[in-house]
Amino acid sequence: MFETLFQLLSRMHQDSHSILLSSEIITINSLRNDALLIAQRFHLLKGSIVALCGLSPHKLIQMIIALDGNVNAMLLLPSSLDEGCRQSLIQSAGCTHLINASSDEPITIAPIDSFLTTIVTPTKWLLATSGTTGLPKLIDHTFESLSSSVKYDKVRASEFVWGLLYDPSRFAGIQVVLQALLSGSALCIADSMDFDIQVEAFIHNRVNALSATPSFWRKLLMDGRVLELPLLQITLGGEIVDQLIIDALKHNFPLARIVHIYASTEAGAAFSVNDGIAGFPLKWLDSSLAPLPLRLRDDGHLLVKPRILPGGKEILDRIDEDGYLDTQDLVKIEGERVRFLGRASGAINVGGNKVNPEEIECCIREVKGVFDVRVYAKKSSMMGQIVAAEIISVFGVEPLTLRKSILTHCRRELENWQVPALLSFVSVLKETAAGKRDRLSV
């Protein structure tokens, strides 16, 4: 018999600190009571498919606890999605009800299939992919698949105050929420997703555990205030983790445990690496030594075999006959290490030659005076696309000199078609709402 989030929280210490808001502390007990009242008020939702849209993180967590096990499916919609995209996903999921920030009661948008009200199955948690290009796709998870990577060391967990940087409607956000709630750690939620407000809330609450993309970690380091945090746990994921960002975090937070989690909405939390070296050990490929079965396909795609496989058409289309999921991430073997190159779908096509923007970024970051970089595709009438790069330079570095150094380094290390044709210097790099580099071509 499956267990719901509400049932699991019921076994926890009822008055343990759970959520830290600007004005109050929410305990497990009050979370459960609020969720129970919601479940009782919305009892007609059994068998329905409910879209949760535009809710505050605290309200969304309450709703998830209330609805898990009581509805057929929950569609978690990030507030950053535009209206057209939201409506498309609601329709694709077959939602019967909508709960948003402006409604006290569920809004009925379609009739409930009476057949679904008689089936006792785990509630589906429908999450939208958060890639850097293209429209999001829906992935079917359950509470079991989403919580499979949670660490339950309650003694160690009681030392942590997690900061929530991500929207909890996204895979990375709900992972942080579940890790904090189920392990007994505190969870700090800022009043908004605004960067400055988040950082100030984390400093005020002495946050010592953070999960973010490498892009967001670079943004935090450039801002500088993150150095005030007594970090003990640093998690990176969602993008390629290069050696430069690992070394920068080691230098600035010598007491912290640094973990690269390889995870995605499609594959779930697949595995983690904490040896301080970019990539993962070569010996993990086709070996019982790996955290889970891994394979490298002839075209460079990494294949994984998750313990609990998510559902949905997108997943079915990417499973091979042996049950391995095509992650659509490209990797290559370098010595005794397997390095990540980037997403297969994100390659720039320069006159028929494929260029991985992440690989070019790693090369440019090696140049002294470069703080961070965004590589993206720019349309070209002659080549189809060309490689363009935006650079954030270290304070005090002269742009013209740095431009020359970057081009010299790239021409020495890269093929001609990989060298950026356009270089510009900026103060801020474009990111998606998921904290990843925005690589939409222009």
Summarize pLDDT for 76-124 with one digit per residue, the tens. Answer: 998 888 888 899 999 999 999 999 988 778 889 988 776 656 655 799 9
Shortest CA distance to 362 belongs to which of 373, 348, 377, 376? 373
**Would you kindly state where each structural domain of the chain is located, as residue ranges?**
208-343, 347-425
Residues in a beta bridge with 355: 348
Q: Which CATH class, in words, describes the domain spanning 208-343?
A: alpha beta
| Res 3 pLDDT > 90 | no
| Res 133 pLDDT > 70 | no
| Residues 432-437, mean pLDDT to the nearest whole number | 80
pLDDT digits (tens, 9 = 90+) for 282-311: 999 988 888 899 999 999 999 999 888 787
Q: Is 233 exposed, middle or buried (0-12, 13-18, 19+ CB in 10 A)?
A: buried
Give the Å distances, CA to CA, from 441 to 52, 376, 378, 379: 31, 6, 5, 7
Contact 188, 20 (CB under 8 A): yes
Residues in a beta bridge with 349: 354
| C-alpha of 99 from chain center | 24
Helix axes 195-204, 214-223, angle to 10 degrees: 70
Residue 68: the pLDDT is 93
Angle CA 395–400–406, to nearest 5 = 85
Give Cβ neighbours of residue 81 (< 8 Å, ≥ 6 apart). 89, 128, 136
The CATH topology of domain 347-425 is GMP Synthetase; Chain A, domain 3 (3.30.300)
Share of the chain above pLDDT 70, in %: 95
pLDDT band for 442, please (50, 70, 90 cuts).
Answer: low
Residue 311: the pLDDT is 79
CA–CA dist 254, 37 (Å, integer): 45
pLDDT digits (tens, 9 = 90+) for 28-66: 888 989 999 998 888 767 789 999 998 999 999 999 999
pLDDT band for 254, please (50, 70, 90 cuts).
Answer: very high
| Res 165 pLDDT > 70 | yes
| Res 16 pLDDT > 70 | no
Q: Which two tokens stand for residue 126?
A: 């429908």
User: Could you tell me the pTM of the whole model?
Assistant: 0.89
| Res 172 pLDDT > 70 | yes
| Residues 14-28, mean pLDDT to the nearest whole number | 78
Residue 116: the pLDDT is 59
Residue 75: the pLDDT is 97
| Residues 224-237, mean pLDDT to the nearest whole number | 96
Contact 399, 416 (CB under 8 A): no
Shortest CA distance to 49 belongs to which of 124, 143, 142, 137? 124
Residue 20: the pLDDT is 84
